[in-house]
Structure 1
């Protein structure tokens, strides 16, 4: 900016000078920091995935052969295995939670529900070749608390549930995700709602307050950003998640984009096409940081 202004100084103003400032203003609008968070992260170096190399140019025969070999491995070897594992995991989750939901409320039902969720989520994470590193496990969310985390993709739920069960809160979806939601809620007190319905919001708040009042129930998992962000930064959390009360357990999830893009751009891809994209990536590598629990103080508004 300073370099451009130096050429305008020391001479009389001309009408054409307006175009320079107009250009800079439009560039700022197009490349603003907020809009970038809703598109896939740009990589510094190519990770041999075609979709992450927009400006691909032929470099060498050796590199091209490595890329072709990678395509064969990802699509002909890894993809069939991953699809099979994902089908097994999702089928067991739907069938298992449906069967558990038929049992009367008891400690045995809760234990069985947690076992089904843990087992099936771990199978699904294996289907993504997930490599997850958990840090500070002594701060894992406890029963009767609220877990808040940044949101990159629906697989955030599977990543976290691999290490412990949660009662989830989220928007009602259709398609494959809707089938999973309807099955899961039969075995565990998850809370699904329509974002556009005001009466649903009041009902959700009431149910959440009742949930955290019982210290024997699973911690509630909430994504306060309200939408998926590309994991390069964190959007401002909506305050509604913190007005319920109770103990807040912050969790940070960071994906490594070199092995695969975990971000779900729901405006471009449905759930099935998104899953196929990450199943044809190298792997899903991420770190999960559990942070010390916090409680709302008197001076917090």
Structure 2
């Protein structure tokens, strides 16, 4: 037994050297070897294999009714396929991506697909996932140690400089641990210190994706567990704004802290997700108006994920943070595009709700997402009376022949 253990030592040492030289050190230095394009193109060629036995399974028949049954159709849609519920489940794919979490039945269609699925299972869990977990653990440990060290330094330029470097290093580790491949567009519109950055929200990874391209001050609720541990480490060295549950309910206190932060030009721009919940990246739901009442410049950002390589949506009611991250690490990759939109300011005579809706519409249009009026909290709460009254007003306009959907119009 001792001889076998000795024989294995060179292999383990070689593995550690390769891991350190080609993965951990480049991640710490934010250096890339440029193999992402080859990796993605190879996966796309595999996904696009067309098998006769799989043809026709993803066909979808468009359903329409005559204009006379407009209200009946709307009622049926609300029951069968409402606009809200489907925003909190994984996107449907046109072709299988060899992940059983997308569609387990595809793996049994043919021998070829079953073999590809088996090979992919070995690659994802036997090769990619151990490397990713190693990177994640290394990155989190380094981040916790270095932020604690920086936190002991006196406030000043040196502390701010080192804090930015430590945060960027930590985000770089996370990006590589999750195999996130990001394309940034229009970087000339990146947020500045005089405003608030707002973006659509799909996953906690949104923070990593945006902060990997520049540091932000985060705003959010203080959590427990691993998430809370990282939050407390972040605030030691950088002016993030975390609230407990009781404090979040005090809107005036939240607004004051945001206003004071924005007024200090030496602090980083604030990053806020006004939806307040994760949506499956097919739409943008109602923006809460708090961030738009401050009176500062708003920097909109649109984030769009490619579900073919892995579903980034976090269904928090179904998966905890750790189990969700493990699912991400066992995916092929997380591929996304980020668009920095031109800064927007509140117009004269425009209230906070109108401003929020205008920003939301711009984000949805740039990312190719559906712009919805519904509140994301509906996935856990009952519909408010105000929403019911709004729909009743729309229907009354149709009956009276005023503005609104026409009888000969089909959506």
**Partner of residue 13, structure 1:** none
Q: How far is 1:56 from its partner? A: 3.2
Q: Tell whether 2:246 aligns with 1:165.
A: no
Per chain length, whose mean CA-contact separation is higher, i.e. which structure has more relative contact order (CA < 8 Å, sep 6+)? 1
In structure 2, how many angstroms separate the alpha carbons of the residues matched to 1:2 and 1:81?
50
Deviation per CA, 1:74-109: give whole Å up to 9, x if none. 000000000000111111222221211111110111
Q: Distance in 1 between matches of 2:156 and 2:166?
A: 16
- State how far apart, in whole Å, the 2-side matches of 1:229 and 1:58 are: 31
How do residues 1-301 of structure 1 correspond to structure 2 at under 5 angstroms? 25=75, 28-56=78-106, 58-195=108-245, 197=247, 200-301=250-351
Alpha-carbon distance, 1:216 to partner = 1.7
Asked if the contact 2:98/2:107 (under 8 Å) is kept, the reply is no
SS in 2 for 1:56: helix
Task: Measure the CA separation in 1 of the matches of 2:225 and 2:249.
Answer: 24
Q: How many correspondences in the alignment?
A: 287
Q: Tell me the secondary structure at the aligned position of residue 283 of structure 2.
A: coil
8 Å Cα contact 2:100-2:107 kept in structure 1 = no
Go from structure 1 to structure 2 and tell me whether the alpha carbon gap of 1:198 and 1:159 turns closer, same or farther (over 3 Å shift).
Answer: closer
C-alpha separation in 2, matches of 1:31 and 1:236: 19
Please state how far the C-alpha of 1:27 moved relative to its aligned partner: 5.7
Asked whether the 8 Å contact 2:106–2:113 carries over to 1, the reply is: no
Q: Deviations over 1:11-43 (max 9, x none)?
A: xxxxxxxxxx7x984663242011111111111
> Could you say which structure has the higher helix fraction?
2
CA distance in 2, matches of 1:57, 1:211: 52
Q: What is the Cα-based RMSD across aligned positions, in Å? A: 2.1
Q: Hey, what's the Cα distance between the residues in 2 that align with 1:135 and 1:125?
A: 18
Unaligned runs of 5+ in 1: 9-20
Instruction: Structure 2: state its 5+ residue gaps.
Output: 1-62, 352-411
Q: Aligned to 1:295, what secondary structure does the other structure show?
A: coil
Distance 1:31 1:2 in 2: 14
Cα deviation for residue 47 of structure 1 reads: 0.4
Residue 62 (structure 1) shift: 1.4
Work out whether residues 169 and 190 of structure 1, in 8 Å CA contact, stay in contact via their aligned partners in 2: yes
